[in-house]
């Protein structure tokens, strides 16, 4: 089971091929977890992308592969390693948000 901390949305995967999507958010950043149906149970995995939210209403975001946290889509085969990644991501996003507040506004 995934952590519920910072979870803002659970829905059917918008890719249209079935599966689920979980969206987590801290400040302007978050993680999108997606799964697609698999023929064999041992093939089930979760794909994680770091995202940057661009709007609250409607909720929109873009994939952000320019962070130190992840430069590509990550694949997780079990819940424990995924939860470990999420905890590290939450701390990273908090720190990133603090640093962004120090920057002068444009």
In a structure prediction context, what are the per-residue pLDDT tens digits for the chain, which is 106 residues long? 789 999 999 999 888 888 899 999 999 999 999 998 877 766 778 999 999 999 988 999 999 988 888 889 999 999 999 999 999 999 999 988 777 777 676 6
* Position 41 in a domain: yes
Count of structural domains within the chain: 1
* Position 64 in a domain: yes
- Domain with 69, as residue range(s), is 7-99
Instruction: Specify the pTM.
Output: 0.85
* Position 106 in a domain: no
Instruction: Please tell me the chain's helix, strand, coil percentages from 3-state DSSP, rounded to the nearest 5.
Output: 25, 35, 40
User: Which stretches of the chain are DSSP H helices?
Assistant: 79-102
């Amino acid at each position: 089971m995934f952590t519920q901390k910072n979870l803002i949305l659970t829905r059917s995967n918008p890719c249209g091929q079935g599966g689920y999507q979980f969206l987590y958010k801290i400040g302007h950043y978050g993680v999108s977890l997606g799964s697609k149906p698999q023929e064999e149970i041992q093939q089930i995995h979760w794909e994680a992308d770091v995202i940057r939210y661009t709007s609250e209403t409607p909720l929109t975001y873009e994939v952000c592969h320019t962070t130190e946290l992840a430069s590509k889509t990550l694949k997780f085969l079990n819940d424990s390693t995924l939860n470990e990644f999420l905890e590290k991501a939450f701390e990273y996003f908090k720190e990133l948000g603090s640093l962004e507040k120090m920057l002068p506004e444009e």
